[in-house]
Amino acid sequence: MRAPRDESTARVSATAGISGGRGSQNLLRFIAEGTAGTVGEEFFECLVKHLALAFEADVGFVAEVIPEDCGRARFLACWEGGRLAPPAEYNLAGTPCAEVADTEVVFYRDRVSELFPEDEMVVELGLQSYLAVALRGSRTHRTPGSARAGAARAR
């Protein structure tokens, strides 16, 4: 599926073992309840934690493309190994995250570390599955850069 690109497009992505776990309705409820009442940085921290828990993942993250350098992204929050990880920036080239910019849904069931050998995090952690979904904002509420949220699991 392809989606038209505009400035109001935000991205949500999940790198995860998509099989098993919670049903889609329970998954959404779990994430919504986990982030309810939070805003700003706290919202992103709760979101990455609950994405990781919901997908039984090793990593959960929210990242945005850096507006001044569209070839790079930065984590707004990253949950790794059961705790928040320090902020980091990374190159988008050679990552599954880069593909989110051109499509509405990106999904890799397995072999992500094999398919994206240039993605240091994917390879280092041995991540295998990836799901990315674009979210749409209203034209009156524009999102700076493109944001991605996700969860990752190694097998």
Report the CATH number at residue 64: 3.30.450
58 within some domain: yes
116 within some domain: yes
- The per-residue pLDDT for range 80-123, each reduced to its tens digit, is 989 999 999 999 999 988 887 777 677 788 899 999 999 998 99
1 within some domain: no
C-alpha–C-alpha distance, residues 49 and 85, integer Å: 11
CB 122 within 8 Å of CB 112: yes
pLDDT score of 29: 85
Helix (H) or strand (E) run with residue 27 in it:
helix 24-35
Two tokens, residue 150: 């996700």
- The Cβ of residue 94 has, within 10 Å, a number of other Cβ atoms equal to 14
Domain with 78 in it: 9-152
pTM, whole model, 2 decimals?
0.75
3 within some domain: no
22 within some domain: yes
pLDDT score of 154: 76
31 within some domain: yes
70 within some domain: yes
C-alpha–C-alpha distance, residues 110 and 72, integer Å: 24
| Tally of domains within the chain | 1
Long-range contacts of residues 115-121, Cβ cutoff 8 Å, at least 24 apart:
118/93, 118/94, 119/94, 119/95, 120/90, 121/59, 121/90, 121/152
What single DSSP character describes residue 116? -
25 within some domain: yes
- The Cβ of residue 3 has, within 10 Å, a number of other Cβ atoms equal to 13
Flag residues of the chain having pLDDT under 50: 1-20, 138-145
